[in-house]
């Protein structure tokens, strides 16, 4: 896939019908894009293929509850993100074929605008090794490097914070 014409990217609110495609995008992204920074064992613990159905049910619930945006390109989901109303940016994933095209920035811009409307003081996230440079470019600061455990496997990531200007 070539570079997408920016006008084709529509950022919209999550719909229940998006869950299956979002979960597929998550698995593909983790196992392909994050493979540059994490071992096969870590990837298998992070996105276990056998838990796809359970993930669809659990994520459907949390994506509905959170502020969730989807990047849509001609009817296909190219990325998604969600944030709790407390300012915790939970997930940000861009499809492996749409990396470095400004999609993550558009998604996070939408969340940051929502955070402003909610008068939040800051947005917090836990960024993967892969996502850390993206967040740093956007003004997020590393609070601490940590190791999280999934299925008994340790995986490094970063607690990050972006202070929002008060209005």
- Residues 6+ away with beta carbon under 8 Å from 161: 122, 123, 124, 125, 140, 141, 143
| DSSP state for residue 108 in the 8-state scheme | H
**Rg, Å, the chain Cα set:** 15
pLDDT reading at 2 higher than 90: no
CA 62, CA 91: separation in Å to the nearest integer? 11
* Domains of the chain with bracketed CATH: 8-94+103-163 (3.40.630.30)
* Residue 155, helix vs strand vs coil: strand
Bridge partners of residue 80, in order along the sequence: 70, 93
pLDDT of residue 4: 47
Least confident of 2-6, 38-42, 60-64, 114-118: 2-6
Cβ count within 10 A of residue 149 = 9
**How confident is residue 8, by pLDDT bands cut at 50, 70 and 90?**
confident
C-alpha 37: how far from chain center: 16
pLDDT of residue 89: 98
CA 15, CA 129: separation in Å to the nearest integer? 29
- Residues 6+ away with beta carbon under 8 Å from 151: 45, 48
CA 93, CA 30: separation in Å to the nearest integer? 9
Judge contact between 6 and 105, C-beta under 8 A. Answer: no
166: alpha, beta or left? (left if phi > 0; alpha if psi -120 to 50):
beta
In this prediction, what percent of the chain has a pLDDT beyond 70? 95
* Residue 83, helix vs strand vs coil: strand
pLDDT reading at 3 higher than 60: no
User: In this predicted model, what pLDDT tens digit does every residue of 134-161 receive, in sequence order?
Assistant: 999 999 999 999 999 988 999 999 999 9
Average model confidence (pLDDT) across the chain: 92
User: In this predicted model, what pLDDT tens digit does every residue of 63-87 receive, in sequence order?
Assistant: 999 999 999 999 999 999 999 999 9
pLDDT of residue 1: 41
């Amino acid at each position: 896939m070539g570079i997408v014409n920016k006008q084709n990217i529509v950022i919209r609110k999550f719909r229940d019908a998006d869950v299956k495609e979002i979960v597929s995008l998550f698995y593909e992204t983790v196992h392909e894009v994050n493979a540059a920074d994490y071992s096969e064992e870590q990837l298998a613990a992070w996105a276990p293929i056998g838990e796809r159905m359970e993930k669809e049910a659990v994520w459907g619930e949390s994506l509905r509850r959170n502020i969730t945006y989807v990047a849509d390109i001609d009817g296909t989901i190219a990325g998604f993100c969600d944030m709790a109303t407390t300012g915790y940016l939970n997930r940000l994933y861009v499809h492996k074929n749409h990396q470095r095209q400004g999609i993550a920035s558009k998604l996070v811009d939408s969340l940051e605008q929502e955070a402003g409307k909610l008068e939040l003081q800051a947005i917090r996230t836990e960024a993967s090794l892969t996502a850390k440079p993206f967040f740093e470019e956007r003004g997020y600061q590393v609070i601490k490097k940590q190791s999280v455990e999934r299925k008994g496997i340790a995986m490094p990531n970063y607690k990050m914070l972006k202070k929002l200007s008060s209005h």
